[in-house]
Amino acid sequence: MWLFLAANLIGLAGLIVELLNLREFPLVRDAPAPEPVDVIVAMRDEAERAAACVRAALDAPNVARVVVLNDGSTDATLEALAAVRDPRLHVLDRDCGGKRAALAYAVANGGAASAWLLFVDADVRLTPAAPGALVAHARARGADAVTVWPRVLAPSVWSSLLAPYLTFFLLQALPMRAARGTDPRFAAGNGACFLVRRDAYDLCGGHAALDAVVEDVALARALKRNGARVALGSGAELATIDGYESFAQNVRGYGRSLYFGAGVPGCAAFALWQALLAIAPLPLYAGRAVAAARMRESWWPVVLAPLASALAALGALLAALEGATGRIVWRGRTLRPGESPPAS
């Protein structure tokens, strides 16, 4: 009885935070902003996605340059990029040992000269309107950077159930009104789609100055420490991102961010929170429905929200175990604190 009551109170508190956060997490829509943007991508073993990612970015009329760093790929990523013929595409080939170093090298050596840098992952497909809309959103919010979460294209049941928990956690756990300011304690970032003013990026030292596996949150914190403001939002109408296939891939996808961002205690707290939500279905259903609407997600996973929360709790515990024993592997490289994750 007391456990059920506590679970419902926790779920209701999370729902209230989520509803308050919606104002600070708007659905970013198409808006004219003709300022030039340079797109920066680090890739490793992305032969099947490389060309589609680059072509989507080049379709945007205000993209001045696309810089791609091939970070030690062992497949045909370079050949796929060579098939894209556009003078705005600049490909660098260097084994940088991870995403953070690869992005730093790409910015320093790719000839990027625009006032705005847009970092995206290889599994992201931008709409032609996306770069301009992100710049317009930054202008409207008085921000020096904008980071949004694309709509997930779920290729499996596992992805449909677990991928939404990234934004669900963000909406229910981060006080976004505080995050609107420059306090680095309240920071969030999504490296899959992260726009930043070049001068603010240079002032904070960029990716070269970061020392964290979760490089997107670290970049947001570095920007804030130097007085920059970072706006958040749903990019569901501006970009899509490929979801992971298997249960293990989904667990490692959010588990690496959870473990390297909060350690074993953070994983354990997340697991307890999700386990409690699984036994308090009413606030859970409401919270998942709100998040699904903002992210333009399918509705059937909302119906299975208690099952998804139980799976997310199990995944967090597995991530804690793998992290504590040094067995979190991503794209063939083992992740450890202080090291850069492989480019994606």
182-200: per-residue pLDDT in tens? 999 999 999 999 999 999 9
- Distance CA(288)–CA(256), nearest Å, equals 23
How large is the average pLDDT for residues 24-40?
92
- For 94, phi then psi, to 5°, come to -160, 135
Query: Which pLDDT value is given to residue 212?
Result: 76
Beta-bridge partners for 150: 235
Strands 230-242 and 145-153: parallel
Query: Which pLDDT value is given to residue 331?
Result: 60
Query: Which pLDDT value is given to residue 337?
Result: 56
8 A C-beta contact, residue 204 and residue 225: yes
- Distance CA(261)–CA(53), nearest Å, equals 28
101-128: per-residue pLDDT in tens? 999 999 999 999 999 999 999 999 999 9
Mean pLDDT of the chain: 92
Comparing 158 with 3, which gets the higher pLDDT? 158
Q: Which ranges in the chain belong to alpha helices (H)?
A: 2-21, 50-58, 77-82, 99-109, 130-141, 157-162, 165-173, 176-179, 198-204, 215-225, 247-278, 281-295, 300-303, 305-324
The dihedral sign for the CA sequence 169, 175, 176, 181 = negative
Query: Which pLDDT value is given to residue 323?
Result: 79
212-241: per-residue pLDDT in tens? 778 999 999 999 999 999 999 999 999 999
> How many other β-carbons are positioned within 10 Å of the β-carbon of residue 177?
12
In the chain, the N- to C-terminal Cα span, in Å, equals 46
Query: Which pLDDT value is given to residue 344?
Result: 60
Q: Return the structure tokens found at 119.
A: 């970092």
b/e per residue, 1-19, with b = 16+ CB within 10 A?
eeeeeebbebbeebbebbe
- Distance CA(318)–CA(258), nearest Å, equals 11
Query: Which pLDDT value is given to residue 249?
Result: 86
pLDDT-above-90 percentage for the chain: 77
8 A C-beta contact, residue 236 and residue 145: no
> Above 70 in pLDDT, residue 332?
no
Domains and CATH numbers, the chain: 2-22+246-334 (no CATH), 24-242 (3.90.550.10)
Query: Which pLDDT value is given to residue 341?
Result: 55
Query: Which pLDDT value is given to residue 330?
Result: 59
- For 31, phi then psi, to 5°, come to -155, 140
Query: Which pLDDT value is given to residue 97?
Result: 87
8 A C-beta contact, residue 287 and residue 11: yes
156-191: per-residue pLDDT in tens? 999 999 999 989 999 999 999 888 889 999 999 999
C-alpha separations of 248 from 141, 274, 328 in Å: 38, 18, 11
8 A C-beta contact, residue 43 and residue 77: yes
